Amino acid sequence: MSGPGPASAPAGLPDWISWRKQQGTIQVANDDKIGPPLTELDINTTTGGFYNGFSVAVTVPAKIIISVIVVWAIFWPIQSGAILNGLNSLILQNFAAWYIWVVAFFIVICLGLALWPAAARLNLGLEGEGPEFTRFSWFSMMFGAGIGVGMLTWAVAEPVTHFESNPETIMGLTTAGGADNVAMAFKWSFLHWGFSAWACYAICGLSLAYFSYRRGLPLTIRSGLTPLFGQRLAGPLGHVIDIVAVVATILGVARTLGFGVDQLVAGLTRIGFSGLIDADGGATTMGIIVALAVIMGLSTLSALSGVGRGIKWLSNLNMGLSIVLLGFLMIFGATWFGLNAMATGLWHYVINLPQMSVNVFRSDGIEGSQDFLLAQWQGWWPVFYWAWWIAFAPFVGLFLARISRGRTVREFVLGALIVPALMCFVWFSWAGGTAIDLELNGGANGVIFDAANGDKIFAMTEFMLAPVATWLSWSMAVLIVVLLLTFLVTSADSAVLIVNTINAAGDEGPKAQPHVLFWGVALAMVVAGLLISGGTTAIQTAMVIGALPFSAVMALMAVALVKAIFNDTRRERAGVPSTHDKIDGATPANPPSGLGTPAE
- What's the pLDDT tens digit per position in 56-91? 999 999 989 988 887 887 777 777 777 877 777 787
Higher pLDDT, residue 78 or 453 = 453
**Mean pLDDT comparison of 88-102, 228-242, 320-334, highest-scoring range:** 228-242
Average pLDDT over residues 244-263: 83
Q: What percent of the chain has pLDDT over 70?
A: 85
Q: What is the DSSP string of 116-185?
A: -HHHHT-BSSSTTPPPSS-HHHHHHHHHIIIIIHHHHHHHHHHHHHHHH--HHHHTTSS-TTSGGGHHHH
Which range, of 34-48, 87-101, 486-500, averages the lowest pLDDT?
A: 486-500
Which range, of 175-179, 299-303, 348-352, 580-584, averages the lowest pLDDT?
A: 299-303
CA distance 557 to 554: 5
CA separation (Å) from 385 to 188, 190, 196, 256? 12, 12, 9, 11
Q: pLDDT at residue 495 above 50?
A: yes
Q: How many Cβ atoms are within 10 Å of 549's Cβ, its own excluded?
A: 16
Q: Are 150 and 325 in contact (CB under 8 A)?
A: no
DSSP, res 177? T
> Which of 503, 583, 446 is CA-nearest to residue 242?
503
| Residue 173 pLDDT | 95
Confidence class for position 312, pLDDT limits 50, 70, 90: low
Higher pLDDT, residue 520 or 510 = 520
CA distance 570 to 208: 21
Q: State the pTM of this model.
A: 0.85
Confidence class for position 10, pLDDT limits 50, 70, 90: very low
Q: Are 401 and 427 in contact (CB under 8 A)?
A: no
Strand partners, 52: 46
| Residue 145 pLDDT | 57
CA distance 94 to 117: 39
Cα of 138 vs its chain's centroid, Å: 15
* 239 CB-contact burial (10 Å; exposed 0-12 / middle 13-18 / buried 19+): buried
CA separation (Å) from 358 to 192, 414, 480? 13, 22, 36
For residue range 361-383, list pLDDT tens digits in order.
988 888 889 999 999 999 889 99
Higher pLDDT, residue 376 or 600 = 376
For residue range 238-252, list pLDDT tens digits in order.
999 999 999 888 887
Which range, of 12-26, 90-104, 133-147, averages the lowest pLDDT?
A: 12-26
| Residue 148 pLDDT | 59
CA distance 260 to 149: 7
Residue ranges per structural domain of the chain: 76-114+134-559
> Which of 416, 413, 494, 509 is CA-nearest to residue 218?
509
What's the start-to-end Cα distance of the chain, in Å? Answer: 18
| Residue 588 pLDDT | 35
Confidence class for position 147, pLDDT limits 50, 70, 90: low
Q: What is the DSSP string of 372-412?
A: HHHHHHHIIIIIHHHHHHHHHHHHHHHHHHHH-TT-BHHHH
Confidence class for position 184, pLDDT limits 50, 70, 90: very high
Q: Are 148 and 491 in contact (CB under 8 A)?
A: yes
Higher pLDDT, residue 536 or 475 = 475
Confidence class for position 266, pLDDT limits 50, 70, 90: confident
Helix (H) or strand (E) holding 202: helix 195-209
CA distance 303 to 320: 21
Helix (H) or strand (E) holding 319: helix 312-332
**Mean pLDDT comparison of 395-404, 487-496, 522-531, highest-scoring range:** 395-404
| Residue 534 pLDDT | 63
Higher pLDDT, residue 396 or 530 = 396
Confidence class for position 337, pLDDT limits 50, 70, 90: very high
* 398 CB-contact burial (10 Å; exposed 0-12 / middle 13-18 / buried 19+): buried
CA distance 529 to 72: 8
Q: pLDDT at residue 13 above 60?
A: no
* 460 CB-contact burial (10 Å; exposed 0-12 / middle 13-18 / buried 19+): buried
| Residue 343 pLDDT | 94
> Which of 71, 81, 89 is CA-nearest to residue 535?
81
| CATH code for the structural domain at 76-114+134-559 | 1.20.1740
**Tally of helices (H runs) and strands (E runs) in the chain:** 23, 0
CA distance 557 to 221: 9
| Residue 592 pLDDT | 34
Which range, of 10-19, 163-172, 454-463, averages the lowest pLDDT?
A: 10-19
Average pLDDT over residues 84-110: 88
CA distance 372 to 385: 19
Average pLDDT over residues 330-338: 89
For residue range 273-304, list pLDDT tens digits in order.
887 877 776 778 888 888 888 887 777 676 66
| Residue 89 pLDDT | 76
CA atoms lying within 13 Å on the CB side of residue 135:
7
Strand partners, 277: 283
> Which of 201, 249, 225, 224 is CA-nearest to residue 386?
201
Q: Radius of gyration (Cα) for the chain, nearest Å?
A: 25
Q: pLDDT at residue 20 above 60?
A: no
Q: What is the DSSP string of 423-436?
A: HHHHHIIIIIHHHH
Q: How many Cβ atoms are within 10 Å of 186's Cβ, its own excluded?
A: 31
Q: pLDDT at residue 571 above 80?
A: yes
Confidence class for position 24, pLDDT limits 50, 70, 90: very low
- For all residues of the chain together, what is the average pLDDT? 82
